[in-house]
Amino acid sequence: EAGVTQSPTHLIKTRGQQATLRCSPISGHTSVYWYQQALGLGLQFLLWYDEGEERNRGNFPPRFSGRQFPNYSSELNVNALELEDSALYLCASPGAGGSRETQYFGPGTRLLVL
């Protein structure tokens, strides 16, 4: 079973630009969670998608948005980039069935805003 995949692995942007990050969940899984991990900070929940719909959103401004496609892959968009958006962005699939509350992470996208 393929794990969670993310692309790109690294992304360099300048302030004011837009960034698009992509994630494919574990094959057959319908949920995708997005997190931001800034240096020295814990993982902050960003967005949760399930069955193509946004189910919950963390405490982030509207310029953080995303969507989930019919094949359950997902995209995170960050508009009007700010320096403090530099972070590791992680995507996760929850486990299935009884292990639904655990999270399986992709390798992440490192975003650097200059």
Partner 1 sequence: RKEVEQDPGPFNVPEGATVAFNCTYSNSASQSFFWYRQDCRKEPKLLMSVYSSGNEDGRFTAQLNRASQYISLLIRDSKLSDSATYLCVVNGRPGGSYIPTFGRGTSLIVHP
| Smallest separation (angstroms) from partner 1 to the CB of 75 | 19
Task: State the Cα–Cα distance between residues 62 and 9, nearest whole angstrom.
Answer: 24
Query: Which residue in 31, 4, 14 sits closest to 109, CA to CA?
Result: 4
Query: Which residue in 33, 114, 31, 42 sits closest to 72, CA to CA?
Result: 31
Q: How many residues bind partner 1 (CB under 8 A)?
A: 23
| Smallest separation (angstroms) from partner 1 to the CB of 72 | 17
Could you say whether residue 102 binds partner 1 (CB under 8 A)? yes
Q: Looking at the chain, how many residues does it have?
A: 114
Stretch of residues binding partner 1 (CB under 8 A), selected from 15-23, 59-67, 68-76, 100-108: 100-108
Residue 99 backbone dihedrals phi, psi, to 5 degrees: -105, 25
Q: Where on the chain is the footprint of partner 1 (CB under 8 A)? A: 33, 35, 40-45, 48, 55-56, 58, 90, 94, 100-108
